[in-house]
Copies of this chain bind each other. A is one copy, B any other.
Amino acid sequence: MSVNGAGPELDAAIVPLRWVGPAKITGNVMDELVEIPLATYESPLWPSVARGAKVTRRCERGIVATLVDERMTRSVLLEADDAGTALATVRRLGDSLADMRRIVSESSRYAELLEVHHQIAGNLLFLRFEFATGDASGHNMATLAADALLAYIVRVFPGVRYESVSGNLCTDKKASAVNGILGRGKNVVTELLIPRAVVENDLRTTARRVAALNVHKNLIGTSLAGGIRTANAHYANMLLAVYLATGQDAANIVEGSQGITHAEDRDGDLYFSCTLPNVIVGTVGNGRGLDFAAANLARLGCRAERPAGENARRLAVVTAASVLCGELSLMAAQTNAGELMRTHLDFERSSSDGEN
């Protein structure tokens, strides 16, 4: 057997990046016009999100982004003597919350234990710990804290043994229902009310057609596909592009992709909303230290002196806003036969002629 020989060292993937917008964002976290960085190999994403952003600037309140919740999770797995022992352990843990909170606080400066959820299956005990993690996305902080909690539990409670630091009830980067139901990452709802004239002129469609398409495609079509807590056209594209541009662990687009688009025809105006229960971003940690990522975060205003957590919340809201821009643009395009392909081809042609 031969090995594919090493050529000249290529020590990075270079993902083309553009800033688009600005998008107009209001709500309970920010009130600004913000340009959005998108790193992607799929260049037609840029004009698509840009079109959505342009629309937001023509709407009175812009995108109203509501941060509903935030937490990072890690589930540990214990083997108990039997289900009765597992249940007894759960009840004892309920009496030991103060100890557990202390252990978590000691494991990391910013970690705080919020809640503990459990599942018992046979003699297996799954404990899903939920933490506040400041400006970090919190994967490592949660694992560190879970390790400490595990050590405590197997030391203090009889009849339970270590099985795994992750029991997949977390659940990290996998398609499931638990993250939407119990929460993981930032839960952000974005809403935009678009006047009829803007719908017709900028999006070349009508509120009635977008609302109908959303029901037929995103809701019914996804249900027929056996989708799980998913009703959207392409959240994953925008999430990937912002995550890469800002140094995030982009594999979290798996759960990020599980969100719900809801649209209504309000007397010709279009109400368009994207609910993203699992935006997982941080402004400190791993990839965020790379020069370009740090610069992009700074330009986004996410490296400012703010109370812990505020920078990450801001980034989550910008990310969610970018999702709405791209989702709106694609949905509008798909109401017209042939438009999607035509704009893709047009853009790729123009790009290869010059700009790209």
Binding site for B on A (CB under 8 A): 1-8, 10-19, 22, 24, 27-28, 31-35, 37, 39, 41-43, 64, 66, 68, 75, 77, 79, 82-84, 87, 119-124, 126, 140, 143-144, 147, 150-151, 154, 162-182, 187, 189, 191, 213, 215-234, 236-237, 239-240, 244-245, 247-251, 253-254, 257-258, 260, 262, 271, 273, 275, 286-287, 290-293, 295-296, 298-301, 334-335, 337-338, 340-341, 344
Contact = CB atoms under 8 A, between A and B. Distances in A.
A301 B3 CA distance: 10
Contacts of A180: 119, 224, 226
A166 to B, nearest CB: 6
Per assembly, the copies of the chain total 4
10 contacts: A7-B298, A28-B84, A41-B293, A43-B286, A77-B216, A121-B189, A122-B271, A124-B216, A151-B338, A176-B177
A249 B16 CA distance: 12
Given A124-B216, A124-B220, A176-B222, 11 more contacts: A6-B299, A7-B299, A13-B17, A66-B84, A82-B191, A119-B181, A121-B273, A173-B234, A173-B237, A181-B182, A220-B260
A292 B121 contact: no
Nearest to A15: B13
Contacts of A222: 168, 171, 174, 176, 223
Contacts of A228: 175-177, 226, 228
B3 A168 contact: no
B223 A223 contact: yes
Contacts of A178: 177, 181, 224-226
Contacts of A24: 1
A8 to B, nearest CB: 8
B337 A151 contact: yes
